[in-house]
Amino acid sequence: MVENFYLTGTNAISPGKIDVLWFEDQEDGSFLQFNSAPESPNARCHWDRLSWLGGTLRYIETRHECPGDIETITEFDPPMVFMPRYLGEETWSHTGVSSLRYYEGRSLVCTGNTRYTNTVSLVGSEIYFQTTQTTAWDKFGKCADWDDTHWQERYLFGDLPEGRGLIETAGGNTDVLDDRWDITFHSWNPFPKTADGE
């Protein structure tokens, strides 16, 4: 975990847009992942909660609480197991199922089950991670008539000029074209100083 620094990169799907990623430890042992610039008024309004507890990276929930938008929460129970903290072999994989609960304005509006397969490969000094997910929605609430949602994400970790970090990530909803990303990260950057110089 790199504190007081954030990643910056460019998105091939949205040319000219600067994408960022930064992290914040929590007292319960989890950490939050943000994708808005630290100096932005909306820096903390959208985040993912993950944890390294138990020796594996686990994806717990996503929250969106930005002004003017509907507040949403997506929870996974149990959390999805993404990757081991220490890779003992050149390849690792895990398949599991998590119950999904989706809230709008704190009201439960959708439920389902997400089946996923996650793989990790070590190639030289670089680590490649991929998650493939399929969510089958229950006949409940606003999602009662939804088809299955198919989701895939890919990540490449390696060397950046300032140290190790995420180099590339691509993925999103494979059923639609407007819910995807393809980002190349270029550097770690120190958090901007506040008005009091901190």
Q: Is residue 126 part of a domain?
A: yes
Average pLDDT, whole number, for the chain? 93
Domain residue limits at 59: 5-190
Q: Which of 186, 182, 134, 137 is nearest to 159 (CA)?
A: 186
CA distance to 77, 130, 172, per residue, from 175 (Å): 24, 17, 9
- Summarised one tens digit per residue, pLDDT across range 137-191 is 999 999 999 999 999 999 999 999 999 999 999 999 999 888 899 999 999 999 9
Q: Is residue 144 part of a domain?
A: yes
- Summarised one tens digit per residue, pLDDT across range 81-132 is 999 999 888 999 999 999 999 999 999 999 999 999 999 999 999 999 999 9
Q: Is residue 18 part of a domain?
A: yes
Q: Is residue 195 part of a domain?
A: no
How many independent structural domains does the chain possess? 1
| DSSP annotation string for 124-166 | TTEEEEEEEEEEEEPS-GGGTTPPPEEEEEEEEEEEETTEEEE
For the residues 33-37, what does the mean pLDDT come to?
95
Contacts of 158 (CB under 8 A, 6+ apart): 125, 126, 127, 164, 165, 167
Q: Is residue 70 part of a domain?
A: yes
Q: 195: pLDDT confidence band, cut at 50, 70 and 90?
A: very low
pLDDT of 16 over the 90 cut: no
Q: Is residue 66 part of a domain?
A: yes
pLDDT of 22 over the 60 cut: yes
Q: Is residue 197 part of a domain?
A: no
Q: Which of 79, 60, 83, 148 is nearest to 110 (CA)?
A: 148
pLDDT of 9 over the 80 cut: yes
